[in-house]
């Protein structure tokens, strides 16, 4: 079984990269990709465990792009994690995350919900990325809200009072960075905030795939994205978007068919030869 969307403690997951590999093995997965937000640190740290557990580990990433002021998550696969341009790009993304944390901290203070953001800022080292999930936890710890969800609903979601926009890259530039690093691009969970009209444009900009199957896609959404992929000649990706036991999505809850995976692998090999 193949699960190409997994998070670790390098971003907002709860399992360390090596623990994630072991959990994937225990869940019966044969191939996984670690796709942390704006970092490849978890891929690097998981490699030894993947060899030990005989798991096929695809180097991945989930990059937060911005289009018309809204976040668009872009998945990268089969990337060279040592590519200097990719590393410089991800460094900039993570620096902007720290800037955003500090601005959200200031807004929360003026809204009467002060938090201690220093531990979050201090955690943003060694390639670790931080963001709203850690702020949500700080809001819970400070007693301003009862749950992470409540923190997002009252303060952190788009259009909420403490929301601070990201200075992110465009989806087109993310596709270019991923291609430069020898990888493929896929638009993550497009059904979460439907953006179907954008897919034609992204396909023309070199998008390689669509994440058709995701826990937040119902059967109709999955069918719609499979049809869009066929229409624009795009490949399919899929995964559970596992963040840890505390979140609804179990590891391996959504998997990719081997035939779809082989198409991705072939496309990546062709791209690297170009």
Given Fe ion, ligand AMP, Zn ion, none, residue 148, with its beta carbon under 5 to 8 Å by kind, binds ligand AMP
Taking the complex as a whole, how short is the minimal distance between the CB of residue 269 and Fe ion, in angstroms?
A: 26
First to last CA, the chain: 30
> Measured between alpha carbons, how far is 114 from 93 in angstroms, rounded to an integer?
25
128 in contact with ligand AMP (CB under 6 A): no
Site string for Fe ion, 44-83 (x = CB under 5 A): -----------------------------x----------
222 in contact with ligand AMP (CB under 6 A): no
Taking the complex as a whole, how short is the minimal distance between the CB of residue 153 and ligand AMP, in angstroms?
A: 7
Exposed, middle or buried by CB within 10 Å (0-12, 13-18, 19+), for 255? buried
> Measured between alpha carbons, how far is 168 from 97 in angstroms, rounded to an integer?
9
133 in contact with ligand AMP (CB under 6 A): yes
CB 93 within 8 A of CB 169: yes
Exposed, middle or buried by CB within 10 Å (0-12, 13-18, 19+), for 162? buried
131 in contact with ligand AMP (CB under 6 A): yes
List all residues 6 or more positions away from 53 whose beta carbon is below 8 Å from its beta carbon. 21, 22, 24, 25
Task: Give residue for tokens 């931080």.
Answer: 130
Quick one: which of 4, 8, 12, 264 contacts Fe ion (CB under 5 A)? 12
Residues between 61 and 80 with contacts to Zn ion, criterion CB under 5 A: 62
Task: Enter the tokens of residue 215.
Answer: 């826990």
Exposed, middle or buried by CB within 10 Å (0-12, 13-18, 19+), for 266? exposed
Taking the complex as a whole, how short is the minimal distance between the CB of residue 48 and ligand AMP, in angstroms?
A: 26
36 in contact with Fe ion (CB under 5 A): no
211 in contact with ligand AMP (CB under 6 A): no
> Measured between alpha carbons, how far is 115 from 108 in angstroms, rounded to an integer?
7
241 in contact with Zn ion (CB under 5 A): yes
Taking the complex as a whole, how short is the minimal distance between the CB of residue 116 and Zn ion, in angstroms?
A: 26
Number of chain residues interacting with Fe ion (CB under 5 A): 3
155 in contact with ligand AMP (CB under 6 A): no
Instruction: Report the residue number, 99 or 272, with the smaller CB distance to ligand AMP.
Output: 99
5 in contact with ligand AMP (CB under 6 A): no
CB 80 within 8 A of CB 86: yes
CB 117 within 8 A of CB 138: yes
Beta bridge partners of 37: 62
Site string for ligand AMP, 80-119 (x = CB under 6 A): ----------------------------------------
Site string for ligand AMP, 30-69 (x = CB under 6 A): -------x--------------------------x-----
The binding site for ligand AMP (CB under 6 A) comprises 12, 37, 64, 71, 131-133, 148-149, 152, 243
């Amino acid at each position: 079984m193949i699960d190409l969307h997994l998070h670790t403690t390098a971003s907002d997951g709860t399992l360390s990269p090596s623990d994630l590999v072991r959990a994937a093995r225990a869940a019966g997965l044969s191939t996984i990709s670690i796709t942390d937000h704006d970092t490849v640190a978890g891929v690097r740290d998981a490699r030894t465990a993947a060899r030990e557990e005989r798991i096929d580990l695809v180097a991945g990433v989930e990059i937060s792009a911005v289009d018309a002021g809204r976040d668009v998550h872009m998945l990268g696969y089969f990337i060279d994690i040592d590519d200097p341009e990719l590393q410089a790009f991800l460094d900039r993304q993570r620096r902007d995350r720290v800037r955003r944390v500090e601005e959200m901290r200031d807004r929360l203070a003026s809204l009467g919900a002060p938090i201690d953001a220093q531990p979050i800022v201090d955690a943003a080292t060694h390639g670790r990325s931080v963001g709203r999930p850690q702020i949500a936890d700080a809001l819970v710890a400070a007693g301003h809200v009862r749950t992470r969800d409540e923190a997002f609903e009252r303060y952190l979601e788009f259009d909420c009072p403490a929301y601070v926009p990201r200075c992110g890259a465009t989806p087109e530039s993310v596709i270019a960075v991923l291609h430069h690093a020898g990888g493929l691009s896929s638009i993550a969970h497009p059904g979460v905030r439907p953006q179907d009209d954008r897919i034609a444009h992204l396909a023309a900009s070199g998008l390689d795939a669509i994440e058709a199957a995701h826990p937040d896609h119902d059967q109709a959404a999955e069918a719609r994205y499979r049809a869009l992929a066929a229409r624009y000649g795009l490949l399919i990706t899929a995964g559970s978007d596992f963040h840890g036991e505390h979140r609804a999505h179990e590891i391996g809850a959504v998997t990719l068919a081997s035939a779809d995976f082989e198409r991705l692998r072939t496309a990546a090999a062709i791209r690297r030869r170009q």
